[in-house]
Structure 1
Amino acid sequence: MKKWIKIGVMAILAAIIFIAITYRVINQPPPANLTSEMQARTILETGGCLSCHSADGERPFYASFPIVGFMVKGDIEKGLKHEDLTKTYESLASGNKIDETILAKIEKVVTDGSMPLHRYYMIHWGASLNKEEKSMMLSWVKKQRETHYATGLACEEFANESIQPIVDSIPVNPDKVELGKILFHDTRLSSDNTVSCASCHDLNTGGVDNKQYSEGVGGQFGGVNAPTVYNAAFNFVQFWDGRAGTLAEQAAGPPLNPVEMASQSFDDIIAKLAADKELTKRFMAIYPDGYSEKNITDAIEEFEKTLITPNSAFDRYLKGDKSAISQEAIDGYALFKENKCATCHVGVNLGGQSYEYMGLAHSYFEERNAPITEEDNGRFKQTKEERDRHRFKVPGLRNIELTAPYFHDGSQKTMKDAVQYMAKYQLGDELKDNDAEKIVAFMNTLTGEFQGKKLTSAN
């Protein structure tokens, strides 16, 4: 009996040694002489990331097996809802910059070891990232941020954070700004001369109207919550569904929307503006070719570029002033990062850099107890691609304490409710009240200044 026990122990030890040696042979980091981009590209491939995070990725051989194949299909569907890395993989080969949200997501899963899935690398031994590969990926993320996204404003401790202090201003044409300000507040852009851009994006109330849905001409209400106009210049697209690529394109939409401002055409708007001799004189001095949709929206865009709110308490904290925010807010920021909020709410605007799926962990729309609307389709409205259904541009979080209600449907009245809903529907977690309150304390530090004064609900 002792002999067989000894043989069994030796066999187990031999198996462990074999597995360890095999793992070391298979799981080799990319060559050190490759560029950081090519190292990252290689790791994405050998780590199996593209198997679930690319619509065109190579599937494992067992993906067609009964039962197991069903599990694989579910993992792929879930992976694509979180992120499609196809564009990232291609960009690494061409040397193009990588989106901030991609960098934040990769940094998070590499740091906490949550990817690849355990059941994946139990079969694909070479897929789990070793120490050298993790170091390569994190170094690549840092290099990308330093090259493409650093503002130079954060202190050394926070220089590599996914969130950065916002700049004080961006270059603008002062004459266009003043003209754009007039047009932004001009009700003649609407059919009945009652609604201006400022009606829904009130600069005295956080750049919004604090209504679930904004009221247009004739008392009509739209079907989506109005995003803030403050810091919109930093969004990669405009509107929840991303249908406008620039602020000028965004400014061209509401005047002709039948619910919002309901003008029949820009020709009708121009006819009213042209009757104002003083405005026309001013307009012609800046745009010698006269009134046009392009020139009107260009001026409004230039004005909106000035709607930046720097010098929040959190900005000062990132710049090195440790006394700028409370310990509760500091703890809240740590929880904000721990709960993956900082993988989507990134950059100087803490958002506005990607489209994300609403309801990754639970079906938000099935449990909302309200009918599905056209606006609930999100990005799908523009692309007609099924993977974009319920996918929305991530809102920026600056001045968030002033911009209730929250979400595209304006369904959440308080920040605490919004935080706990996001934890439930995006992460599948029930966030404790105390933790949610700490995150809210952090978010309250994001209120900045406009024209040298702290933004309030009554500026």
Structure 2
Amino acid sequence: MKRIFLPLAALCAAALMAMPSEMQATADQGKKPLEQVPSMEKFQEVSDIVLDKCMACHSRNYDLPFYAKIPGIRQIIEQDYRDGLRAMDLNQELVGAAKDRPVGEVAVAKMEWVVLNNTMPPAKFTVVHWGSRLTDKDRETILHWVKTTRAAYYATGPAAEKRADEPLQPLPSHLAVDVKKAALGEKLFNDKRLSADGTLACSGCHLYEKAGTDNSRFSEGIRKQFGDINAPTVFNAVFNVRQFWDGRAADLQEQAGGPPLNPIEMGCSGWEEIIARLSADEALTAEAGTIYADGWTAQNITDAIAEYEKTLITPNSRFDKWLSGDDAAITAEEAEGYRLFKQYRCASCHVGRSVGGQSFEYMDLKADYFAERGNPLNSDKGLMGFTGNQDDLHRFKVPNLRNVELTHPYMHDGTVTTLDESVAVMGRYLSGIPVSDGDRRLIVAFLRTLTGEFQGKPLTGTPVER
């Protein structure tokens, strides 16, 4: 097979040009100053390995090998390339990131998993391509890079030194917010005047007593209308790379502007309608005027709601306490469940502070979830519904798993009603590794340790059955 030895700078440029504009916008969020990004010299040490032994199957810039012309072989090879790109597009996730931002947390975790488990390059590739295996030095170099990158950009601080390199990190106890904006935002979040008929507030689908969800497959909007996608929890949404299952909102503020104007959800014809109703409330209008010089605007309303939503975080779970050094915070079985959570590749995508929300992955990566489920939904398009890119079909934002025992039902379509089933589904369709009954039991036990506190009290909700 022809290997790719393009200069790194050229690959970076190609990657950024090929990256869809909306995903580039995602990349630009939270961008760190250039001087804080890992040095090119340090990244070059890893990129040489990647270019030599990984890029051929995880890049759109490849040449088919000479034997691809053999009847029957071409189809197999093309499928291998397609699978490789769907699992991880290194141009987008690794090479492009080296230009002016840190490599994404999910890319770091994926690199770590394949090295620790010695799954890449795959055996059928190395049989034909001698010398393509990772050497001990390669593995050592990549794992050191993973550790230093995670420490520089993704360690949250509260983790104990012995657990600082875990792919999951403790939630912070609080985030800095503008207190006055957040107070106004809380009132607006609970204000039914943001709906056309005055019957539904934002909190109507994101109930505090149900861990920021409504525990329904699909939420009910005004006039008893229903959409076709499960409402994710609002708790810890501030940590998501983008908002909504299809990523169509760049941040909390853009997300807050969606439901009020959605005809199925809150059904307003425009912001003028909402502003007229709010303006009739003299006290609330006066409060808004002390914060925003121009008073009620769509920009100011969504800004206040977004500021409030930054306060909806749930630290101090038992697992957070374990990460922070309290060995007794979780049981031996729960600790084993966490080990299995990592072993089965769950922690390759469910990473970081919120245990997810950092990437978009294919729901049918290893098997055809949609064909086997049947009953197609418009929401099944996933990211493609936002980008229009056929390559994004069936890609969804990975949900955060904080408080997951309380946020049922699961998946974008709300068809999974137990944690046990959700682990089985992920094993079959995402990891491609069947999870035994015993291992599922332990992983579920671990997942239940992720339930945290809100405003110093245990988060409320009904724990899902096994």
2:128 alignment partner, SS class: coil
Task: Assess if the C-alpha contact under 8 Å between 1:51 and 1:60 holds in 2.
Answer: no
Deviation for aligned residue 1:57: 2.9
From 109, 113, 116, the counterpart of 2:114: 109
Q: Distance in 2 between the 1:268 and 1:92 partners?
A: 43
Counting only pairs closer than 5 Å after superposition, residues 297-308 of structure 1 correspond to structure 2 as 297-308=302-313
- What's the counterpart of residue 272 of structure 1? 277
SS of 1:204's partner is helix
Distance 1:260 1:435, change over 3 A: same
Task: Kindly provide the CA deviation profile for residues 323-372 of structure 1, in whole angstroms up to 9, marking residues without a partner as x.
Answer: 00111111110110000000000010000000000021211011113x21
Counterparts of 1:406-417 in structure 2 under 5 Å? Answer: 406-417=410-421
- The answer to which of 380-389 and 347-356 deviates more is 380-389
Q: Mean Cα displacement is larger for which, 133-142 or 61-70?
A: 61-70
1:357 maps to what in 2?
362
2:128 equivalent in structure 1: 123
Question: Which residue in 1 is equivalent to 2:352?
Answer: 347
Deviations 1:263-319 (A, max 9, x none): 000000000000001110101111111111000000000000000100000000011
Contact 1:36-1:136 at 8 Å conserved across structures:
no
Alpha-carbon deviation of 1:89?
A: 4.3
Q: Give yes or no for the alignment of 1:39 onto 2:45.
A: yes
| 2:377 alignment partner, one of 344, 367, 373 | 373
Deviation at 1:433, TM superposition (A): 1.7
The alpha carbon displacement at 1:458 in A equals 7.2
Question: Secondary structure of 2:172's match?
Answer: coil
Using the size of structure 1 for normalisation, the TM-score is 0.90
Q: Is the 8 A contact 1:41 1:92 kept in 2?
A: no
* Change over 3 Å in CA distance of 1:190–1:95 after alignment to 2: closer
Q: 1:248 to 1:89 in 2, by over 3 A?
A: closer
User: 1:95 deviation in Å?
Assistant: 5.4
SS at match of 2:60: coil
Q: Which residue of 1 aligns with 2:407?
A: 403
Comparing 243-252 and 91-100, the one that deviates more: 91-100
- Aligned residue identity for 2:109: A
**For residue 129 of structure 1, what is the amino acid of its counterpart?**
L
Q: 2:433 aligns with which of 404, 429, 432?
A: 429
Which residue number in structure 2 is paired with residue 394 of structure 1?
398
Q: Deviations over 1:408-452 (max 9, x none)?
A: 000011111111111112233332222111111100000001000
Secondary structure of the residue aligned to 1:125 is coil
Q: CA RMSD in A?
A: 1.5
Alignment partners' CA distance in 2, 1:198 and 1:95: 38
How far apart are the structure 2 equivalents of 1:170 and 1:443? Answer: 24
| Cα distance change on mapping 1:196 and 1:326 into 2, 3 Å | same
Cα distance in structure 2, aligned partners of 1:64 and 1:297: 56
Contact 2:336 2:442 in 1 (8 A): yes
CA distance in 2, matches of 1:95, 1:378: 28
What amino acid is the match of 2:242? Answer: V
Q: CA deviation at 1:203?
A: 1.3
Moved more, 190-199 or 125-134: 125-134
Q: Does 1:456 align with 2:460?
A: yes
Residue 92 of structure 1: CA displacement? 5.9
Q: Distance in 1 between matches of 2:321 and 2:63?
A: 46
The match for 2:449 is 445
**Any idea what the Cα deviations from partners look like across 1:57-78, whole Å, max 9, x if unmatched?**
3443333333222221110111
- How do 1:180-195 and structure 2 match up within 5 A? 180-195=185-200
User: In the alignment, residue 46 of structure 2 is paired with which amino acid?
Assistant: A
2:89 is the alignment partner of 1:84:
yes
Hey, what does 1:234 align to over in structure 2? 239
- Cα deviation, residue 90, structure 1: 2.9
TM-score by length of 2: 0.89
Q: Cα offset for 1:398?
A: 0.2
Q: CA deviation at 1:36?
A: 2.8
Q: Deviations over 1:222-264 (max 9, x none)?
A: 1100000000000000000000001000000000000000000
**What is the distance in 2 between the residues matched to 1:253 and 1:330?**
40
CA drift of 1:209 comes to: 0.3
**Pairing 1:60–2:65 present:** yes
Partners of 2:74 and 2:56 lie apart in 1 by 13
Stretches of structure 2 lacking an aligned partner (at least 5 in a row): 1-38
Q: In the aligned structure 2, how far is the partner of 1:161 from the partner of 1:124?
A: 33
- How many residue pairs get matched? 425
Shift of the 376–52 alpha-carbon distance from structure 1 to 2, 3 Å rule, reads same
User: What is the DSSP-based 3-state SS (H/G/I as helix, E as strand, rest coil) of the residue aligned with 1:80?
Assistant: helix
Contact 1:51 1:59 in 2 (8 A): no
In 1: Cα distance, 2:300 partner to 2:381 partner: 32
Q: Deviations over 1:154-198 (max 9, x none)?
A: 112211111100111111000001000000000000000001100
1:221 match: 226
Which has the greater radius of gyration?
Answer: 1
